[in-house]
Structure 1
Amino acid sequence: MMKPKKIPMRMCLGCMEMKPKKDLIRVVKNKEGEVSLDATGKKPGRGAYLEKSPACLEKAYKTKRLNKNLETTITEELYETLRSLIND
């Protein structure tokens, strides 16, 4: 009998619910302090996760949860990139 495969779970910073990692968008801050989107989920650095919903993004934006979690300031350009990615 095979064991069921473990699904990695991560917390969405918008709704604060645990979701499967593959269903979330990862934002990563590397050692140089540069913040970028991580499509593969494999980039080195501190990661933060958001669900692919406009409501979660707006809640994280208003409460500055990405800033707090990544311990840096997130640019407006990155939020615009996230909005366009989510709304597609």
Structure 2
Amino acid sequence: MQDMKIADLPVHDRAIDITGETCPMTFVRTRLALDSLPDGAVLLVRLKGADPRANVPRAAADQGHDLLDMFDLDDGSAILVIRKAGA
């Protein structure tokens, strides 16, 4: 998606950018963000790199959260859409 705007993003309750983090901090930041949200809330996570793209979705799913989508951006990063478990 070229020149993505905020209005183009999926409906969400919070968004974080972990493109500057390395594993395991990528999931630590994601988990802290999820912990701060109410059950059923949607978190957008912008991530980059093979390890975060594999590990963050897997770890979120292992904790029972719903992975709604992941889509690539032109800069090589991706947006992961997670619904917090409990709703």
Query: Normalising by the residue count of structure 1, what TM-score does the alignment of the two structures yield?
Result: 0.35
More helix by share: 1
**Greater C-alpha radius of gyration:** 1
Query: Normalising by the residue count of structure 2, what TM-score does the alignment of the two structures yield?
Result: 0.35
